[in-house]
Amino acid sequence: MTPPRAGLLWDAPTTFVRFVEDCGFSCQLVTPQLCAAPFFRGSFSVLVVPTGFANPAYSRTLVALRASHNRIRGFLERGGALLVFGAAIDRADAYDWLPIRLVYHHEHAPCHLEPVEPVLFDALFSDYTPDAIECDGWFEECEGEVVATAGGRPVAVAARVGDGLVVATTVHEYPSRGFLSFIERERGAAVF
């Protein structure tokens, strides 16, 4: 049986690729240049955008995400899932490429996570102690369902877009090992 496929949007290979593979997925590295190329057709059920995507000190990913916003919307509408982490820079507009509204505030600190939506919360964070987890900020405004808060502020949200799902979190960790399988079962494959 062929393992499910995930895409990881980043400039170069990273340990996140290994984490995705250890979760039982094949992982395709999607560079910013590839993401924005009109000829690129990736086929995966989950696309992951790691922490730091908007900070030019770490990545050139934000430019590609903005250039690909219509492609991202289509991927979601056709049943894809998108897992996106914190921008890691104080830019309120860091998520303006998403088909949902998120306004981000950057502030890195340890926090206590409080579940709001228990099913997604457990899928995302079951491998961690919610009393001591790092976050790189919160969402000052968010469209969708709040999954978790820290100090009353949203740090994980989920929103349906067509047949797909966006999960955005500012938690500065990998998701729990079972999360990719959970979200892949909930969504399905789509062409990016």
Q: Return the percentage of the chain with pLDDT > 90, whole number.
A: 81
Name, in order, each residue with C-beta under 8 angstroms of 129's C-beta and a sequence gap of 6 or more: none
- Using one digit for the tens of pLDDT, what is the confidence trace for 139-176? 999 999 999 999 999 999 999 999 999 999 999 889 99
**Phi (first) and psi of residue 58, to 5 degrees:** -110, -35
Task: Provide, for the chain, the percentages of residues in helix, strand and coil under a 3-state DSSP scheme, each rounded to the nearest 5.
Answer: 25, 35, 40
Given a cut of 80, is residue 87 above it in pLDDT? yes
The CATH number that applies at residue 159 is 3.40.50.880
Name, in order, each residue with C-beta under 8 angstroms of 9's C-beta and a sequence gap of 6 or more: 30, 31, 32, 35, 47, 48, 49, 50, 53, 61, 64, 65
Nearest to 34 by CA among 59, 14, 61, 4: 61
- Using one digit for the tens of pLDDT, what is the confidence trace for 29-81? 999 988 888 888 888 889 999 999 999 999 999 999 999 999 999 999 999 99
Number of domains in the chain: 1
- Distance separating alpha carbons of residues 107 and 86, to the nearest angstrom: 10
| Mean of pLDDT values over 79-93 | 94
In the numeric block, which tokens belong to residue 93? 């507009």
In the numeric block, which tokens belong to residue 60? 């050139």
Residue 113: domain span: 5-191
Q: Return the percentage of the chain with pLDDT > 70, whole number.
A: 96
- Tell me 1's DSSP state: -
The pTM of this model reads 0.94
| Mean of pLDDT values over 2-30 | 93
Residue 105, Cβ neighbours under 10 Å: how many?
16
Name, in order, each residue with C-beta under 8 angstroms of 109's C-beta and a sequence gap of 6 or more: 134, 135
- Distance separating alpha carbons of residues 133 and 25, to the nearest angstrom: 25
Asked if 71 and 192 touch (Cβ cutoff 8 Å), the reply is: yes
Helices (H), the chain: 15-22, 32-36, 61-67, 69-77, 118-125, 179-186
Given a cut of 80, is residue 189 above it in pLDDT? no
